[in-house]
Structure 1
């Protein structure tokens, strides 16, 4: 039987969410309505699937449509708990009846090991815990049995050994809260396994040896805080641990956000967009101590405002796959048209009643929020936060509202899409974002911003994918990596804004071409650009990007990457340095500049040693590089 959407796909909406001031609880309720209204005509006849993409009807499409249905619930369930959005809930409840009925044409089916549908079950656990009277009590005995049996499959199929374990936890917590049979043994086993992912200082890795990225705030801590709030009386010790870890993590994570609400684009699954602020919503929901309601309110609402000013919707108001604009190139292998609605987790705050301190508080500005939550070293132009478990140093430039995450790289890798671009660049910026490759040949296809790309003269470039060794000493990051068995690169980065210094020692057994990319600048309207004399720069609507070769480079050029490679802008320019190297040992040193303030090219000439030392503490004298840290520690790098 063919399953098609009923009504007008998209449905349209009366007022775009970009015009929502997002000041009050009513505004946030309205924002959720503005996001959901265009979807009403996209439900299947039995209302159990959300049809947002192609009309293909294979098994994967059916699962993707079920995924879209379930992800809406991350926003809808808290709204129902808070007393709103009743009309759409009745439609979804009918979809639950259809989707869990083995005799219905829209049955969600029998799951397999590591099945995507195991992911989508988690929100049902939240619903069982928050609104059992709305999801469970209205069902007939047969419908209750169908729903329970379908969800109970998660107790008989393994989940991936990462944040997925929390999906099993949430389903069983929901069972427990509703008085249904649940697997207490497997629940405890998974909770204990999650402990193996904890790195300390508030950070988790996404599985043993995994990366530290947004899955820490919008998965591990989000679910942990929900668990702490729901199970605080029954599992008080673990609940307290989750709360304490989240409070510690908050002091780091606050540095990822700019005063206007943008957050650092870094890692995978960035198409979930405003899930970036879901952690702050969970902190408010759990009443996390030490974080003022006004600070949390500002972090959530500014992030939502920033996102709703970006062109992230199609003409019907449906969220697209992409980051700051529709872009399939940066997406993940597991993304479907409905995946993006995982971002609705941020609407957990709608479960809070209108008299809650979160809604009554005045929104705090970012500077006050950072002071109240974050910790970090103050510098002449902003602040710096060393986040060692994540391999990052976060720099903030107050005047420009610019935040950048300097990155050592990681000791492991994986097969996720564009892993090198998403985890191994030298720096990730709120103002310039990062780029992913379009194809494999040449610099314009590779879009190697904030990377050192190496080639054997065949236009096929290799970049850092994993590291043999990493360390951080204050603002200085170090990594050792091997793009070939007979090529070893040692990289030092003296982090800072708007300038930072990169140093590479390359020991090669083969002839290589090197390309060192600066920040990717959105083209917009360029006011000036130049390349030559060992320096390249471009300045225009979106600021200035420049790179200067201090040692070892042969030439400079402006690379215009192919379209849709950058996460913020469809078209960009990357100031780039080039070098040719014979077998042997070579040193490459560059000064990289990024300022989003608007037109105004900086002086692209050799910074004096005094200027470099003042800004970043770097001196190059007599075949020796000396880096002086903010506390006066000295790092000496012999060049012999």
Structure 2
């Protein structure tokens, strides 16, 4: 498959690099992924469009987008320079050639030279907790795997400049007590591999401290005791990924630790396989998901670090996870700027979901995914035929350390979450960590505002309001535990229980029950709500789904079985809370069906309470994947001093290969019964 590169565009008279027009696909989407050579071509479609955005002496890359972040503009442009190095270095590690390598070689010399400061090229000396420290990690890796390309091209003076900027500065500064400590390890490791000045004692102390993050069974927390945050930073974005790179690069000097890191990766692999569905989608969960296909970097790192796969996984399965994931991202045509660079967002540009550290160059952390290019072409990762890992791993599994129950029933991967929490204030943290369910087919939603349900966009969340519905509180912090209960047939069923208080005098116990083989499109969500000190309105939301008609892109109308799309009740607006239609049909629940996306819905199963079924027309751009969504929701009221039980069946049947639109609601009338053990809980309290 031929791809269009920057050079091709220049030959055609398009000066300044790639320029995408109306519905013109990015070259990234045109590569037919089959083997290592095609993945190399895919990487080049990411690197080529960066050329026009290098500074005159190539030390900085100012990616399109004038958005500010919590750090300075120079650090933002350092990100733009360093993060693509994750991909380029992997290419060079295998002996490949890329014409644009010269941009980074020249740029690194000028970036670390204080004499270029007046020209706006010098990166500046890092201060405590400086973002520049993050970018030292891909730079250190590049030096370690391609020393001849970078270090070998430098004069003695240029090497001294690099040692001073990369080694001395980071070793003298304070760093956050998180995965950042790995970045200092790699800064020192890169200099060590080149024969430069480095701090071995600092490297060893950092690794010893990082060991205190380890929780067991392969899982590390992104921080010390007292923090419960195990997202993609615990695996593909940082900790597991960098442990494996360390095992490969420092294994000869530190064989015991390298062996331990490989062992942890073997244990983690059997859990992490549950985050990727058969279509190639991963489950969006937690922060920094704008790094997109970096979500699969762990799997390429297994091969790079020569890990022996734990049964029943095979290299064909690992290859399948990686290539299917990259292929899915090839179908996301709206994630690019017109210049062909990555945007801040997920499936489309989205600042609502962005963290305060996401600069225009930030998304290029996605280049971690190309660690597979550093794997020799003779490795079974490349020589094996792709396989489906879901043929051999269980469809439901409880994960003790992250506090998740994973499911691959009903056409998508889903995790039920015990309610993790980010260790510092973060935009949308309750949506990124505190929702009850996260799906590979129906991404989570973030609040674009904080006024009324349409702005809160409570997908897979229970919201409570004490002011008539203007402001809503959801689960953020919780005391959680994983228990095993029993269903009426005597089978073990994993159940997540969390206790949380949206207000000081309102207390909730939530039970999350995964799908069963008999009802694969349903999971159960039960809440005991003790409204001790105030009356509260409640809003219990299902997954969010695409709110567009197939024929013309307008909002969904009333459900039409012939067209296979629409909502029930009809979508009448978020402020029509007293509409007779919603109350009259509330016993049947609410659902929404999209030709493109499938069906989602929610039904009240508790009996004895009066909850209204309705559709929340969420504010645009609240969802990560679909820019226009609706959320089937049950609304109710709990009076001051009352204790109420809510039990909801949450329905999801995604579109997919072999699923006809006429089948989207096949399971809707077959809602699961409330299990006997839960009935006893409700009767006892």
Please indicate, yes or no, whether the TM-score normalized by the shorter chain is above 0.5.
yes
* Gap change, CA 1:82 and 1:12, over 3 Å in 2: farther
1:502-533: CA deviation from partner (whole Å, max 9, x where unpaired): 11111111011000001111123241311242
Instruction: Give 1:189 deviation, angstroms.
Output: 1.1
SS in 2 for 1:27: helix
Contact 1:411 1:469 (8 Å CA) reproduced = no
Q: Distance in 2 between matches of 1:217 and 1:543?
A: 30
| Alignment partner, residue 394 of structure 1 | 406
| CA deviation string 1:142-164 (max 9, x = no partner) | 11111111101111112211100
CA distance in 1, matches of 2:669, 2:35: 51
Residue 470 of structure 1, CA deviation: 2.9
1:57 CA displacement: 10
Identify the residue that residue 559 of structure 1 maps to in structure 2.
616
The alpha carbon displacement at 1:246 in A equals 0.5
Shift of the 9–112 alpha-carbon distance from structure 1 to 2, 3 Å rule, reads farther
Q: Helix, strand or coil: the match of 1:196?
A: helix
In the alignment, which of 524, 530, 535 is matched to residue 568 of structure 2?
530
Q: Distance in 2 between matches of 1:521 and 1:10?
A: 36
For residues 436 and 243 of structure 2, the distance between their equivalents in structure 1, rounded to whole angstroms, comes to: 31
Q: 2:240 aligns to what?
A: 221
- Name stretches of at least 5 consecutive residues in structure 1 with no aligned partner: 1-5, 377-382, 627-635
Is the alpha carbon distance of 1:191 and 1:605 closer, same or farther for their aligned partners in structure 2, counting shifts above 3 Å?
A: closer
Q: Report the Cα distance in structure 1 between the residues aligned to 2:590 and 2:365, rounded to whole angstroms.
A: 40
Out of 213, 217, 226, the position equivalent to 1:197 is 213
Distance 2:332 2:433 in 1: 24
2:639 corresponds in structure 1 to 582
Q: CA RMSD in A?
A: 2.2
Q: Within 2, Cα distance between the matches of 1:127 and 1:602?
A: 51
Q: Which residue of 1 is the match for residue 105 of structure 2?
A: 93
Q: What SS does the corresponding residue of 1:562 show, helix, strand or coil? A: coil
Decide whether the 8 Å contact of 1:258 with 1:366 is kept in 2: no
Does the alignment pair 1:506 with 2:529? yes
Change (3 A) 1:412 1:74: closer
Number of equivalenced pairs: 604
The aligned residue for residue 549 of structure 1 is: 604
Q: Which moved more, 1:116-125 or 1:309-318?
A: 309-318
2:35 maps to 24
- 1:280 matched to 2:299: yes
**Farther off after superposition, 262-271 or 44-53:** 44-53
TM-score when scaled to structure 1? 0.90
Checking the alignment, whether the CA contact within 8 Å between 1:538 and 1:601 is kept in structure 2 is: no
Relative to total residues, which structure has the larger strand share, 1 or 2?
1
Equivalent position SS for 2:600: strand
C-alpha distance in 2, partners of 1:95/1:342?
19
CA distance in 2, matches of 1:121, 1:335: 17
- For residues 558 and 603 of structure 1, the distance between their equivalents in structure 2, rounded to whole angstroms, comes to 20
Report the Cα distance in structure 2 between the residues aligned to 1:231 and 1:21, rounded to whole angstroms: 35
Q: Hey, what's the Cα distance between the residues in 2 that align with 1:437 and 1:537? A: 21
Which residue of 2 is the match for residue 630 of structure 1? none
8 Å contact kept, 1:203–1:249: yes
Task: Single out whichever of 459-468 and 354-363 deviates more from structure 2.
Answer: 354-363
Q: Corresponding residue for 1:638? A: 683
Taking the aligned partners of 2:622 and 2:662, their CA distance within structure 1 comes to 23
Distance in 2 (CA, whole Å) between partners of 1:55 and 1:429 is 32
Alignment TM-score, normalising by the size of structure 2: 0.85
Unaligned stretches of 5+ in structure 2? 1-9, 485-492, 550-555, 557-564, 570-581, 656-660
Is the CA contact 1:463–1:483 (under 8 Å) kept in the aligned structure 2?
A: yes
- Identify which of 332, 349, 368 aligns with 2:355: 332
Rounded Cα–Cα distance in structure 1 between residues aligned with 2:673 and 2:264? 38
> 429, 443, 451: which is aligned to 1:419?
429
Does structure 1 residue 166 correspond to structure 2 residue 173?
no
* Aligned-residue offset at 1:114: 0.5
Aligned counterparts of 1:275 and 1:569: Cα–Cα separation in 2: 20
2:667 and 2:466 map into 1 onto residues whose CA distance is: 30
Describe how 1:280-319 pairs up with structure 2 within 5 A. 280-290=299-309, 291-311=313-333, 312-319=335-342
- Choose the corresponding residue for 1:404, options 397, 402, 414: 414
Deviations 1:118-143 (A, max 9, x none): 00011121122111111101101111
CA–CA separation in structure 2 for the residues paired with 1:422 and 1:55: 25
Q: Alpha-carbon deviation of 1:349?
A: 1.5
Which stretch shows the higher mean deviation, 337-346 or 550-559? 550-559
Contact preservation (8 Å) 1:11, 1:38: yes
